[in-house]
Structure formats: structure tokens, C-alpha cells
Amino acid sequence: MNTGLPEESHELHGIEFLVEDVDFELSDAEELTSWIERVAKVHEYEIVQLTYIFCSDEYLHRVNVEYLDHDTYTDVITFDNADTSDVIEGDIFISVERVRENAQQLGISFHDELHRVMIHGVLHLLGYADKDLLSQTAMRKKEDDCLSLRAF
């Protein structure tokens, strides 16, 4: 989606970080890349191409309406582009504004909430779902397990 705004890009080891329609800078890209690679390795997946797009609420809302026909705001949307089951190839859109608001409401740091949302998208690419209460509980536990793998 072309917003006409300048886009920032930072790619490491098949993981790319883009910024669209929001003032945001990812300060720990190398550490995040290593962590996401550890999570993939633990699950016996290879990262072929993983793109994170950090954006505004409005940008993500437009994606939600256009591609998923959902007229709602959300913190993360994941698109799985993989043709096989043992690779990660996808796009993860994250609303920085929604993450910031959620962190404030939960009384946690912005970075902890951002990392939870980032790995939530990866877990979807690993095949985890969160459509009902049971799967949401399992997803939350997997998020916590993955967050414990951070070395920073």
C-alpha cells in the first residue's frame, strides 16, 4: 500500500523492518532479529522472508478493511505467504499507536508489549491460532515462552 510517505527500511538475515505512516524508530533491530531467529529455530522453522511493517492505527485499519473485510482497529495483522509448512515467509503489520495504548492500559513497558505483539505475529506464522478462549490461552502461554527467550 503506497501512502506517499517516506518509508524506512532495515533488513537483517531475511527479517525486514519497515515503517509506514507513523513516526517510529526501532532501536534494537539486531537483538530482535536474533531473538526471532531463536524462536524459529526452537520451533524447527527456517525464516525465508519476514517483513514487519510498523504503522499507524489508520494505516492498519485500512489494511484490515481492504484485505480482511474487518472494519475494526487492531494491534497486529499477519499475512502468511509460505508455500510449505516448515518455513516462515510473511508480513506482520503492527500499529505502533495501538501497542502504545495497550501498554499504558496494561501498565507495562512499550517495548515489552511491542515484543509480545511481534512474536504473536510469528506464532501465527508457526500455525498457532487464537480464535477461541482455549486457543487464546494457549497463545498467551506461547508468547510468554517466546518472550523468555529474549537475551536483551
Q: Tell me if 120 is assigned to a ligand binding site.
A: yes
Please answer whether residues 42 and 50 qualify as being in contact, where contact means their C-beta atoms are separated by less than 8 angstroms: no
Q: Tell me if 115 is assigned to a ligand binding site.
A: no
Grid cell, residue 142, equals 506461547
User: Which own/partner contact pairs does 24-28 have at CB distance under 8 Å and 24+ positions apart?
Assistant: 24/54, 24/96, 26/54, 28/111, 28/152
Please report where in the chains the cell 523492518 appears, as a residue: 17
The annotated binding site is made up of: 120, 124, 130
The annotated binding site for Zn(2+) is made up of: 120, 124, 130
